[in-house]
Amino acid sequence: MALLNVEDLTVVFGGKDRADVRAVDGVSFEVRAGEVIGLVGESGCGKSVTSLALMGLLPPKGNKVTGKAIFDDGVNLLSTDQRTLRDMRGREIAMIFQDPLSSLNPVVPIGVQVTEVLARHRGMTGERARKEAEALLDRVGIPDPRRRLKEYPHQLSGGMRQRALIAMAVACRPRLLIADEPTTALDVTIQAQILELLKELVHQDGTAMIMITHDLGVVAGLCDWINVLYAGRVVETASRHSLFAQPTHPYTHGLLASIPRLDSVRGDRLNPIPGSVRDLLPWVEGCAFAPRCERVLESCVEGPPALVGGAHAYRCVNPFGADS
């Protein structure tokens, strides 16, 4: 049974005087309880919009969300009213953001921000809330939590800020955690620590997690199932093992090939994917990745490719492995 079942999620941004932009275009995936799934793709592929749409955090104007996202066989997150969502946010589903500094209120001490969540969902106040907040900071590995509670966000280091945000997100033991590039704004050494912490917390609480990232290294160490997004659509979906063993879509392949390797010969050039996400083709006309694809065929631009291939599915007419 799936904890979250996203079906045909589509987010269109548009206004009276601008052309519609399909930021997310029919994305479907499911998250089972306790499972970690990855949404991978480069900037502008729709991964953050997906997470904001699921949380109901998109601005009220200028966008249209369609599709279904059934949480726990009950509520459709995309169509339910804000009141229900407010009750669910933080308690059932919580989110961790990219930039810990701007995600914390600069003029309010950490302690107030943590206890606020406890007061909202667990009815804790005063000394009890403070004790619990202290325990939470301790749990996410912040040393001297008693002192830290009184400090302001700018007095904490980047890693510590992200830990504080994680503490707030897991304060009510939500069943689903959405992590939107939680390590992008951090030093490499801190990144590993934060990922380790997330892994540990998710494991301890049995929380399911959607990890949104552009970093395949992150998903490799963390996710059970991976969805690769390009221009708003899932282009490849597979278990971690299968995806890394056999990247099938040329985009996934390109992402993996572009990672610099320790064992490559010095002087070897890096292998970037040529072009940028801006060079996309609208999906209705064919494969959006076609303009940048090294395996492009004429049939690629004859119409949108379908997602094929069973458990390890891909959206490509000329995938890797097809000719060998």
**Looking at 87, 187, 279, 294, which residue binds another protein (CB under 8 A)?**
87
Residue with smaller CB distance to another protein, 58 or 70: 58
Told to check if 40 binds another protein by CB under 8 A, we report: no
Shortest separation between residue 100's beta carbon and another protein, angstroms: 9
Going along the chain, which residue ranges are E strands?
2-15, 18-32, 36-40, 63-71, 75-76, 93-96, 176-180, 208-213, 225-230, 233-239, 313-314
**Is residue 281 involved in binding another protein (CB under 8 A)?**
no
Own/partner pairs, 120-126, CB within 8 angstroms, 24+ separation: 120/90, 121/90, 121/91, 121/171, 121/172, 122/171, 122/172
The residue whose two tokens read 């990672």 is: 259
97 makes contact with another protein (CB under 8 A): yes
Q: Which is nearer to another protein, 132 or 224 (CB)?
A: 132
Give the footprint of another protein on residues 113-172 (CB under 8 A).
113, 116-117, 120-121, 125-127, 130, 147, 150-152, 155, 165, 168-169, 171
Tokens of 33: 């309880």
Closer to another protein at the Cβ: 212 or 231? 212
317 close to 302: Cβ distance less than 8 angstroms = no
Structure tokens at 222: 């963390």
CB of 176 to another protein, least distance (A): 12
- Return the closest-CA partner of residue 53 out of 24, 93, 29: 24
Alpha carbon 191 to its chain's center:
15
Backbone angles phi and psi of 132, in degrees to 5: -65, -40
Q: How far is the CB of 154 from another protein (least distance, A)?
A: 8
| Identified binder of another protein from the candidate list 18, 59, 298, 324, rule CB under 8 A | 59
To the nearest 10 degrees (0 to 180), the angle between helices 158-170 and 126-139 is 120
| 72 counts as binding another protein under rule CB under 8 A | no
State in angstroms the smallest separation of the CB of 61 from another protein: 9
Member of 108, 284, 297, 308 binding another protein (CB under 8 A): 108
| Min CB(175)–another protein separation in Å | 14
Contacts with another protein, residue ranges (CB under 8 A) = 55, 57, 59-60, 82, 86-91, 94-95, 97, 99, 102-109, 111-113, 116-117, 120-121, 125-127, 130, 147, 150-152, 155, 165, 168-169, 171
